[in-house]
Amino acid sequence: MKFFASALCVLATATFTCAVWAQTPAAGDGLMKFAALLESGQPPAAAGPALTLDQVERIALAANPEIEVAVRRVAVASAHVPIAGALDDPTAMYQGWSLPLRKPWDLNAGQHMFTLSQALPGGGKRALRTSVAESDVDVTRAQLDQVRLDVTVRVHKAFDDLLLAQDEMRIHAQHVGIARQAIEAARIRYTVGNVSQQDILKAQVALTALTEHMIRFDRDAGLASARLNTLMGRDPATPLNVQGEHAVQSPLPAIQALEALALQTRPDLVAAQKAAARSHKEQALARRAYAPDFTIAAGYMLMPTGSNMRNNYMVEGSMSIPWLNRRKHDAEIAEASARATEQDAELAELRNAARGQIQEALVEAQSAQRLAHMYHDQLLPQAEATLQASVIAYANNKTGFLDLLDSQMTVIDTDLAWIQAVADFDARLADLELATGTPFDQLQQATPEVKP
- Mean pLDDT of all residues in 188-205: 63
On the question of pLDDT at 82 being above 80, the answer is: yes
Each residue's pLDDT tens digit, 320-374:
999 999 999 999 999 999 999 999 999 999 999 999 999 999 899 888 888 888 8
Q: What is the pLDDT of residues 432-444, one digit of tens each?
A: 888 988 876 666 6
Interval 144-184: pLDDT, tens:
999 999 999 999 999 999 988 888 888 777 766 666 666 66
Q: What domain count does the chain have? A: 1
Q: Which domain holds residue 102?
A: 2-450
* CATH code (residue 157): 1.20.1600.10
Give the per-residue pLDDT at 189.
Answer: 62
Q: C-alpha angle with apex 362: 358 to 368, nearest 5 degrees?
A: 145
Mean pLDDT value of segment 52-77: 93
Give 97-151 pLDDT, tens digit per residue: 877 777 777 777 788 899 999 999 988 899 999 999 999 999 999 999 999 999 9
